[in-house]
Structure 1
Amino acid sequence: MATHEREITEPVDLCLDDGRLDPAAVGWSRRPLHRSAIRGWGRTKRWEYWCVTTPTHLVALTVSDLDYLALNSVHVLRFGTEGPVREFERTAIVPGGLGVRLPDGIAGAAGCPPVRVGPERPVRGQVRIEIADAGGATRLRARCVDPDRRPVEVDLLAELPDGHETLSVVVPWGERRFQYTSKHTARPASGTVRIGDEVLGFGEDAWAVLDHGRGRWPHRVAWNWGAASGRTDGHTVGLQFGGRWTRGTGSTENALCVDGRISKIGEELEWRYSRRDLLRPWTVRGGGPHGIELTFTPFHNRATRTDLGLLANRTDQCFGHYSGTVRTDDGHRIAVDRLLGWAEDVRMRW
């Protein structure tokens, strides 16, 4: 069930010397192989987004450098069967992106410099985020203050087991507009989030997902992104699906990670959902022989609206559970039963 997309197996530069996309970089890989130095300035976007989930709570950290400003955030969501959903988010806007510099490689990967943004002791709306290598794992640390003025301390470890494959893809709109993304799913995680005297544990049922991005984007763009991780049908499964933004490029960011092995899906998937009621079930289908037949049932929408002139963002990130069936490259059918993750609808002007 090999995809038509070219698999890259050796290190390659993302850009030519003049900043244009290197044609040899277009393709996908099972581990990060792209050297993603982007020369010059202008419409360049760099970010690291980590989300670590458990069956009852999750935390997400974002560090982003958007050329003319940076957005760094800590998001905590508590859910489950006991009581209402509880959520808070702290986002620090940094004009000019002062003090926020992301490396060409994946922050926290072996051999890559660590990332540290924000003051050591944040107050009010400030955030401190650190991403660093921890010897075969990535350590994620953060500090902020919640709306009740309680100190928040995040200290998590996202492991990368030997042989665990990830999905890296270059999406080319043209020689001057392109995106390199590395998506990691089903990485085992552990650690704690402290909110005042309360401790949220991340143990055997905790999973980390990474969205690493480096590229030069169009002024306006819209996308879908869905991801989920966990154990189902006797397997450890990671789902990674994208939509809209890759149409017409010849590339997709669609893949399954089953027991650490990537099955690349080289077709656009069909997303169906109601923008009028985003908490109604979504469906994601297609993938040819990979037989993607999934229903996503949301329980919470993290709605974000930003209008800062140059930047306008309308994001609906719905958290919920995936159920249905998928097939690996070798044709093995996997029953997906309430796999925790998210599906989002995003429209950006940046």
Structure 2
Amino acid sequence: MDKLIQADGQPHYGIFPSAPGLINYRDFDFRSPMGRRLGALAKWRRFHQFQYFGLLSDELIGGCALANLSLVGVGFVYLFHPASGRMIERQFKLPLGLGTSFSQQPDGGTGELRQGRNLLRLENCAETGEKRLLVALDDGTRIDARFNERQPAFQPMCICTPTAVNGWVYAQKVAGVACQGQVSSDLGRFDLGQIGAFAHHDWSAGYMRPETHWNWACLSGLAEGRRVGLNLSCGVNETSFTENCFWLDGELLKVDTVRFAFDRDQPLSTWSIASHDGQVDLRFEGEGLHRERLNLGFIASNFKQVFGRFSGTLRPPGRPPVRIDQMWGFVEDQYVKW
């Protein structure tokens, strides 16, 4: 479809075979919970958007996110070296998003944050299917990472769900794709192709719940000679449809609702993650985390993204089970008021 919002002001809902060309959120018939039509200021204030690019390998773990929260632009980047346990991380918060720019094209355009001599940039090329992460920090850290959804063919998870009484969220997820490029930092120099790195990508936007919480899990890598990716969530994008799925060699396989069991006070301890339909039965052991806490009253966040290793089983219907053995991935525990 060319646009997510239809002529009547309502979104297309469902799981789509490909991304809409444009998330035309300004055309949404946005109303208060009591049915009053809301104007341009409310549409700007309540619309939120974020994009995330994750790197996974035995030699290097990384994550970079950009978020447009209307009143503030947010970005973070981190790199973790498993062999040494060393980590580099930076956080950025820009009032009113000054110094940031965001495209409303999930498969095209650029998201960017600039602050001083620091640059975080996420590029999506509609013509080639390439996703690219560029990072240049004032401490000399450089990341140039990319993957292609079309070579080999990959089926992204593209979903739009109703949210609360008057909103919606469009989300597009990719996991289990090989990554190319270079990383240079105080942790060393890495050729992502040579170290067998895999990538995860998340593009999400919409009128999300003003106060919400979610758990999320993702893994990417090789299992029994197959390219495997996983994307699971609980607490978000679950109204009528869910984003829960895994991929085998680029083929998307849908999963039912999932349960996360973990100790919130000890996020590096064991997590158990299982789906209602029995397709997913995993354990996760954390090895490090990126965390942020912010409480300004009108906006607040308690965010923990843990990186570590998954073990367990994926059971695609009618096929042999796939054993997951110490595969790198991420989990999240997040509360946010925005």
TM-score by length of 1: 0.84
**2:156 partner amino acid:** T
Deviations 1:14-70 (A, max 9, x none): 32457x542xx2111343236311113231111111111211212222222111221
Q: What SS does the corresponding residue of 2:265 show, helix, strand or coil? A: coil
Deviations 1:126-179 (A, max 9, x none): 43425253834222211113xxxx311111122222421111111212562111
Q: What SS does the corresponding residue of 1:47 show, helix, strand or coil? A: strand
Q: How many angstroms apart in 1 are the aligned matches of 2:64 and 2:331?
A: 17
**1:237 partner amino acid:** V
- Contact kept, 8 Å, 1:322 with 1:339, in 2: the verdict is yes
**2:282 partner amino acid:** L
Equivalent in the alignment of 1:137: 130
With over 3 angstroms needed to count, the CA separation of the structure-2 counterparts of 1:159 and 1:16, relative to structure 1, is closer
Mapped pair 1:338 → 2:319: no
Equivalent in the alignment of 2:251: 261
With over 3 angstroms needed to count, the CA separation of the structure-2 counterparts of 1:236 and 1:162, relative to structure 1, is closer
Report deviation, 1:236: 0.9
Q: How many angstroms apart in 1 are the aligned matches of 2:114 and 2:236?
A: 31
Report deviation, 1:89: 1.8
Deviations 1:275-309 (A, max 9, x none): 12222211111241x52111111111222212233
Q: How many angstroms apart in 1 are the aligned matches of 2:315 and 2:197?
A: 24
Q: How does 1:128-277 map to 2 (within 5 A)?
A: 128-133=120-125, 135-145=128-138, 150-160=139-149, 161-174=151-164, 176-195=166-185, 198-204=188-194, 205-247=196-238, 249-265=239-255, 267-277=256-266
Q: What SS does the corresponding residue of 2:61 show, helix, strand or coil? A: strand
Q: 95, 119, 127: which one pairs with 1:127?
A: 119
Unpaired runs of at least 5, structure 1: 1-10
With over 3 angstroms needed to count, the CA separation of the structure-2 counterparts of 1:115 and 1:246, relative to structure 1, is closer
- Contact kept, 8 Å, 1:117 with 1:130, in 2: the verdict is no
- Contact kept, 8 Å, 1:129 with 1:140, in 2: the verdict is yes
Q: How many angstroms apart in 2 are the aligned matches of 1:341 and 1:291?
A: 18
With over 3 angstroms needed to count, the CA separation of the structure-2 counterparts of 1:97 and 1:287, relative to structure 1, is same
With over 3 angstroms needed to count, the CA separation of the structure-2 counterparts of 1:113 and 1:280, relative to structure 1, is closer
- Contact kept, 8 Å, 2:4 with 2:20, in 1: the verdict is no
With over 3 angstroms needed to count, the CA separation of the structure-2 counterparts of 1:243 and 1:34, relative to structure 1, is farther
- Contact kept, 8 Å, 1:140 with 1:158, in 2: the verdict is no
Mapped pair 1:31 → 2:23: no
Deviations 1:225-254 (A, max 9, x none): 10000000221110110002245x122110
Q: How does 1:61-76 map to 2 (within 5 A)?
A: 61-76=64-79
Q: How many angstroms apart in 2 are the aligned matches of 1:93 and 1:278?
A: 24
**1:183 partner amino acid:** K
- Contact kept, 8 Å, 1:226 with 1:341, in 2: the verdict is yes
Q: How many angstroms apart in 2 are the aligned matches of 1:296 and 1:105?
A: 33
Mapped pair 1:328 → 2:320: no
Q: What SS does the corresponding residue of 1:41 show, helix, strand or coil? A: helix
**2:174 partner amino acid:** H
Q: How many angstroms apart in 1 are the aligned matches of 2:292 and 2:113?
A: 22
Q: What SS does the corresponding residue of 2:154 show, helix, strand or coil? A: coil
Q: What SS does the corresponding residue of 2:236 show, helix, strand or coil? A: coil
Q: RMSD over aligned Cα, in angstroms? A: 2.2
Q: How does 1:293-308 map to 2 (within 5 A)?
A: 293-308=281-296
Report deviation, 1:197: 8.9
With over 3 angstroms needed to count, the CA separation of the structure-2 counterparts of 1:132 and 1:268, relative to structure 1, is closer
Deviations 1:196-234 (A, max 9, x none): 593133124111101101111122100001000000022
Report deviation, 1:256: 0.9
Q: 98, 109, 116: which one pairs with 1:113?
A: 109
Q: How many angstroms apart in 2 are the aligned matches of 1:301 and 1:140?
A: 21
Matched pairs, number: 319
Equivalent in the alignment of 1:5: none
Q: How many angstroms apart in 1 are the aligned matches of 2:206 and 2:186?
A: 38
Q: How many angstroms apart in 1 are the aligned matches of 2:289 and 2:186?
A: 25
TM-score by length of 2: 0.87
Q: 46, 49, 56: which one pairs with 2:52?
A: 49
- Contact kept, 8 Å, 1:74 with 1:127, in 2: the verdict is no
- Contact kept, 8 Å, 2:63 with 2:78, in 1: the verdict is yes
- Contact kept, 8 Å, 2:81 with 2:187, in 1: the verdict is no
Identity of aligned residues (%): 21
With over 3 angstroms needed to count, the CA separation of the structure-2 counterparts of 1:227 and 1:310, relative to structure 1, is same
Equivalent in the alignment of 1:6: none
With over 3 angstroms needed to count, the CA separation of the structure-2 counterparts of 1:327 and 1:12, relative to structure 1, is farther
**2:102 partner amino acid:** L
